[in-house]
């Protein structure tokens, strides 16, 4: 289906274009692009991690330790950026988005080993109280676990750190926990159908975060467990500033019922299932359509509630904790989200690439903090510094297989739907 392919390409562009454009415009820290940069001073690079595995992550920490770098906590970063204290030489910040299980099994013990600290942006609405006991870096060192064992939980039904684990890391002082929104969710923003829920829909690996949040009986359902046949409308991250499109629940249910009547999961084995379902959706939408766009006042309230609730929840779960820092899911925010984050009590906002701001210097706005990917650690000045060309080649090599698989799936669906 053409809409499915173009939506995947659009998301790929949204995710990667800022990096590409920033590199072309040299909107990266000088240490990344320069052949022989001066030692790091008067700036604080912030690096972004998600999943980490022990060999690669330890090598990065060894590079930092060998070259005399120091990591700052969120509070230390805030003080240095506000000008209340001088920026310490060779200072960086390590940030971990989502609070994935490898933060506990790999990152935490290795940060302790090398005497570093980090900031983790977590999603309190998706965190379980406890999780199944899993293998950690200590087991790996003792040869009682493989790399795959350490990452296995992220691919299970318990992919995020539990509150029990987060509490232990918080108490150690090694990890500073801050907000990544309450549910890390998307909302539909247009009546354009880009897909239907089907057995092979890519839901991402935790919390079904690639599935937009819909309303059921007028209330938001953050579980994101849509039944087969439900239409997937074009969507955007909640903080990106777009008004939500509230679909017609009766129309959605009609599509679900149609799939059930046509055999349920077996329906999707038909080569032309997309064409049939799209035609049914179009016909039914002419009979009943009570969809509407969100009002600006509703959007304002929804964003502010999310920001306040996430902050409150983390502070209630962790003793002596004040949450003042916030990170945008998918690196996508908006002027409205920035304004409301201030109203909710946040003092720092983290992004990905920020136009016209390659790095972080004293007295720059704390609401537009740029971050770069973790592999650029090897571009920091020091012994063993790697070539930019080699790092970018490795990135492309790692990225292309997953993207190629997405295109292959989209191409297959497009071809079969046109037969």
Q: Cα torsion at 340, 342, 346, 349 (round to 10°)?
A: 80
Lowest mean pLDDT among 17-21, 108-112, 285-289, 397-401: 397-401
Q: What is the pLDDT of residues 72-92, one digit of tens each?
A: 999 999 999 999 999 999 999
pLDDT of residue 13: 61
What count of residues does the chain have?
419
Secondary structure letter of residue 160 according to DSSP: B
Which residue has better confidence, 109 or 208?
109
Instruction: Report the relative pairing of strands 231-237 and 245-246 from DSSP bridges.
Output: unpaired
With a cut of 90, say whether residue 237 has pLDDT above it.
yes
Q: Is the pLDDT of residue 333 over 90?
A: yes
Reported as type and span, the H/E element at residue 220 is strand 219-221
Residue 47 has pLDDT above 80, yes or no: yes
How would you label 315-327 residue by residue, b for 16+ Cβ within 10 Å and e otherwise? bebbeeeebbbbb
If you classify domain 17-386 with CATH, what class do you get?
alpha beta
> Region 301-317: what's the mean pLDDT?
98
Is 407 a residue whose pLDDT tops 90?
no
**Percent of the chain whose pLDDT exceeds 70:** 91
pTM of the model: 0.92
In whole angstroms, give the CA distance from residue 338 to residue 367.
Answer: 7
State what percent of residues in the chain have pLDDT above 90. Answer: 81
pLDDT digits (tens, 9 = 90+) for 337-392: 999 999 999 999 999 999 989 999 999 999 999 999 999 999 999 999 999 999 98
Q: What average pLDDT is seen over the chain?
A: 91
pLDDT of 412 above 50: no
């Amino acid at each position: 289906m053409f809409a499915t392919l173009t939506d995947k390409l659009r998301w790929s562009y949204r995710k990667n274009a800022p990096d590409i454009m920033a590199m072309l415009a040299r909107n990266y820290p000088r240490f990344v692009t320069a052949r022989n940069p001066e030692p790091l001073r008067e700036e604080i690079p912030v690096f972004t991690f998600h999943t980490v595995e022990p060999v690669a992550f330890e090598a990065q920490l060894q590079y930092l330790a060998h070259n005399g770098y120091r990591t700052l906590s969120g509070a230390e970063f805030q003080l240095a950026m506000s000008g209340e204290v001088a920026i310490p030489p060779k200072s960086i910040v390590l940030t971990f988005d989502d609070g994935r299980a490898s933060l506990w099994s790999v990152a935490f013990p290795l940060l302790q080993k090398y005497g570093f600290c980090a900031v983790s942006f977590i999603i309190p609405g998706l965190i379980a109280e406890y999780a199944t006991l899993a293998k950690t870096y200590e087991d790996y060192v003792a040869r009682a676990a493989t790399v795959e064992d350490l990452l296995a939980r992220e691919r299970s039904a318990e992919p995020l750190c539990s509150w029990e684990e987060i509490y232990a890391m918080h108490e150690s002082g090694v990890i500073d926990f801050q907000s990544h929104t309450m549910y890390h969710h998307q909302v539909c923003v247009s009546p354009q159908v880009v897909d239907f829920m089907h057995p092979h829909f890519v839901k991402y690996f935790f919390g079904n975060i690639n599935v937009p949040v819909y309303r059921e009986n007028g209330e938001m359902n953050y579980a994101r467990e849509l039944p087969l046949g439900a239409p997937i409308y074009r969507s955007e991250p909640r903080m990106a500033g777009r008004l939500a499109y509230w679909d017609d629940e009766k129309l959605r249910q009609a599509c679900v019922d149609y799939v059930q009547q046509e055999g349920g999961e077996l329906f999707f084995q038909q080569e032309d299932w997309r064409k049939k379902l799209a035609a049914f959706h179009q016909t039914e939408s002419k009979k009943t359509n009570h969809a509407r766009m969100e009002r600006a006042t509703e959007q304002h309230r929804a964003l502010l509630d999310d920001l306040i609730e996430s902050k409150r929840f983390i502070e209630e779960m962790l003793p002596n904790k004040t949450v003042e820092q916030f990170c945008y899911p998918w690196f996508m925010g908006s002027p409205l989200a920035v304004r409301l984050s201030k109203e909710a009590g946040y003092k720092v906002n983290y992004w990905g690439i920020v136009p016209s701001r390659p790095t972080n210097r004293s007295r720059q706005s704390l609401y537009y903090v740029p971050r770069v990917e973790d592999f650029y650690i090897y571009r920091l000045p020091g012994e063993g510094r790697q070539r930019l060309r080699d790092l970018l080649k490795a990135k492309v090599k790692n990225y292309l297989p997953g993207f190629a698989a997405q295109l292959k799936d989209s191409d297959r669906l497009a071809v079969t739907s046109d037969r």
